[in-house]
Amino acid sequence: MSITKICCIGAGYVGGPTMAVIAQKCPHIQVTVVDLNEERIAAWNDENVDNIPIYEPGLSDIVAEARGRNLFFSTNVEKAIDEAQIIFISVNTPTKTYGKGKGMAADLKYIELCARQIARIAKDNKIVVEKSTLPVRTAEAIKSILDNTGNGVQFQILSNPEFLAEGTAVTDLLNPDRILIGGDTSVEGQKAIQSLVDVYANWVPADKILTTNVWSSELSKLTANAFLAQRISSVNAMSELCEKTGADVNEVARAIGMDSRIGPKFLKASVGFGGSCFQKDILNLVYIAKSYGLNEVADYWEQVIIMNDHQKRRFSNKMVQTLYNTVADKKIAFLGWAFKKDTNDTRESAAIYIADDLINEQAQIAVYDPKVSSRKVLADLDYLETRTSEKNSANVTSFSDPYEACASAHAIAVLTEWDEFIAYDWQKIYDGMQKPAFVFDGRNILNRVALESIGFIYQGIGS
């Protein structure tokens, strides 16, 4: 089937950039991205492309090129479903916060709502593509909902996991390491796979497009994220040992990364990984393993999360200890709130947990992040439900100028690796701070020797 109309349900960090790139690379295909969130769609349609709701380097240029030509953002979910031949489901699948599997399993209520909506509206055959990270065997559930509507429409369900990393979404989408498409082994299933392969073949070389069965595709996504996160927890575990023994984790990482079997990527010790995927996907993997009675497998992967939580807690404890065992009423400046650089996403960001710990110690937190709003910072803390919103507001202030955030602070915590932090006038920052002035570099991006020569007391991770 030649594809001319695609719809994507969910205009978030995955759906938005992915569809923008498909539209740019396939001008003959009409791509409509729909979302229930009116504010979000209005922002995607904002005349000024710099106001689109997701910050990703290069994204606004692509949206400017394709929007109104063959890329559309709308809240009319029904119309888009009705018209499309391929429907991507890109809605959020957070970890469940209630009931069975609470804190572990993925909450599929948004997915199920989408499936029911598609079932209700579709009048002709559709290919439904899972784009969100989903537990293995979700496709089966979607299929069961779609096939039992009784209106005779045929659905093919494909799994097409997204491997883009935030902050580099556009380059990842333009030059993917691989595209993975899982589908049914039946003739109809293979035809559906081919239709989606043909879409990607507009810009991705054929040898990078892999096709598998649905379950392999779903599990590959969880496995890739578990392996990546495991590397970070492994290097973070070594960082603690380095701090005790006088080794430098940056040197250790460089040395082991030159072993071609290990490779240099994802070996950067940090205050802990964040983001919407790693923790959620591993918890999901753990839940699936447990549900099959595979307790050793579950425990093995759970340790990656336990190590990550430990790393965050260890960082805040170390700050308090170093600051003479009290941070009460002390101003602590946070450079960075996003979970990594070049994104405005803060989901599971280590900064949230470090702030939470320090507020428990009655610190005053001053936040500067080049892309995160003060509203978001407070919403992230309120979401933890550790204390009232009023109390969070009383202890946390956001600044739009980093020098103001650091003025008269006792310490600075670097929590996101934004490049601009490196270029600051650190002498000026030092001059404005309480003495002794401390820097806790949770990303190991600053120059220790230069800072120490100014007079700072510097602590990085793992050295």
Q: Residue 351 belongs to what H/E stretch? A: helix 350-360
Residue 225 as a binder of ligand UDX (CB under 6 A): the answer is yes
* Residue 10, contacted partner among ligand UDX, ligand ADP, none, CB below 5-8 A by kind: ligand ADP
Helix (H, G, I), strand (E, B) or coil at 164: coil
State yes or no: residue 226 binds ligand UDX (CB under 6 A): no
Q: In 3-state terms, what secondary structure has residue 125?
A: coil
**160 in contact with ligand ADP (CB under 6 A):** no
Residue the block writes with tokens 């759906």: 15
For residue 379, what are its two tokens?
A: 């919403």
12 is in an annotated binding site: yes
Task: Tell which residue, 333, 319, 285, 336, has the closest CA to residue 429.
Answer: 333
Q: Which residues of 278-312 are buried (b: 16+ CB within 10 A; e: fewer)?
A: bbbbbbbbbbbbbeeeeeeebeebbebbebbeebb
Per CB under 6 A, the list member of 23, 122, 232, 320 interacting with ligand UDX is 232
- 269 a known binding residue? yes
Catalytic residue IDs: 277
- Find which of ligand ADP, ligand UDX, none residue 339 binds, CB within 5 to 8 Å per kind: ligand UDX
| Neighbouring residues of 83: CB distance < 8 A, sequence distance ≥ 6 | 5, 7, 32
Does 17 contact ligand UDX by CB under 6 A? no
Contact window for ligand UDX (CB under 6 A) among 109-117, 179-187, 237-245, 273-281: 273-281
Is 98 one of the annotated binding-site residues?
Answer: no
H or E element that contains 457: strand 457-459
Which residue of the chain is nearest ligand UDX when measured via CB?
A: 275
Residue of 166, 243, 342, 356 that binds ligand UDX (CB under 6 A): 166
- Residue 100: C-alpha distances to residues 60, 95, 278, 290 (Å): 41, 11, 21, 13
**Separation CA 172–CA 181 (nearest Å):** 17
278 binds ligand ADP (CB under 6 A): no
- Residue 94, marked binder: yes
Could you tell me which stretch among 118-126, 266-274, 328-336, 433-441 binds ligand UDX (CB under 6 A)?
266-274
366 belongs to an annotated ligand binding site: no
Query: Is residue 223 part of an annotated ligand binding site?
Result: yes
Q: Is 421 in the site for ligand UDX (CB under 6 A)?
A: no
Whether 318 and 459 have beta carbons less than 8 Å apart is answered as: yes
The verdict on whether residue 155 carries a ligand-binding annotation is no
Smallest distance from ligand ADP to CB 37, Å: 4
Q: Pseudo-torsion of CA 418, 419, 424, 430, nearest 10°?
A: 50
CB of 442 to ligand UDX, least distance (A): 9
Name which of 113 and 379 has its Cβ closer to ligand ADP: 113
Q: Is residue 35 involved in binding ligand ADP (CB under 6 A)?
A: yes
* Residue 224 annotated as part of some ligand binding site: yes
- Asked if 267 is part of the footprint of ligand UDX (rule: CB under 6 A), the reply reads yes
Strand order in the sheet with 30-34: 71-74, 30-34, 5-9, 86-89, 126-130, 155-159, 179-183, 209-213
Annotated binding residue 452: no
Residue 255 or 394 with smaller CB distance to ligand UDX: 255
Number of residues counted as binding ligand ADP (CB under 6 A): 21
Residues 50-79, one symbol each (x = binds ligand ADP by CB under 6 A, - = not), give ---------------------------x--
SS percent in the chain: helix, strand, coil, step 5: 45, 15, 40
Interface with ligand UDX, residue 266, by CB under 6 A: yes
Q: How many residues does the chain have?
A: 463
Task: Return the number of the residue (225 or 364) whose C-beta is nearest ligand UDX.
Answer: 225
* Closer residue to ligand UDX in complex, CB, 184/281: 281
- Out of 8, 15, 96, 222, the only residue in the binding site for ligand ADP (CB under 6 A) is 15
Residue 91, annotated as binding a ligand? yes
Residue 333 lies near ligand UDX (rule: CB under 6 A): no
Q: Residue 28 CB, nearest distance to ligand ADP (Å)?
A: 25
Q: What is the Cβ-side half-sphere exposure of residue 222, based on CA atoms within 13 angstroms? A: 24
Does residue 135 bind ligand ADP (CB under 6 A)?
no
The H-assigned helical ranges of 175-248 are 187-200, 214-245
Copy the structure tokens of residue 344.
Answer: 């405005």
Tell me whether residue 111 or residue 164 sits nearer to ligand UDX (CB atom). Answer: 164
CA dist 128 and 115 (Å) reads 9
Beta bridge partners of 159: 130, 182
Contacts of 461 (CB under 8 A, 6+ apart): 236, 239, 249, 269, 270, 271, 315, 441, 442, 443, 444
Region binding ligand UDX by CB under 6 A among candidate stretches 17-25, 82-90, 164-172, 387-395: 164-172
- For Cα atoms 204, 206, 208, give the angle at the middle one, nearest 5 degrees: 70
Following CA atoms 101, 103, 105, 106 in sequence, which dihedral angle do they give, to the nearest 10 degrees? Answer: 130
Q: Which residues sit in the known binding site for NAD(+)?
A: 10-15, 35, 40, 91-95, 132-133, 166, 277-280, 347
Kindly list the residues in this chain that would bind ligand UDX in the complex (CB under 6 A): 162-166, 225, 228, 232, 266-268, 270, 273-275, 277-278, 339-340
Kindly list the residues in this chain that would bind ligand ADP in the complex (CB under 6 A): 9-15, 34-37, 40, 77, 90-92, 110, 113-114, 132, 276
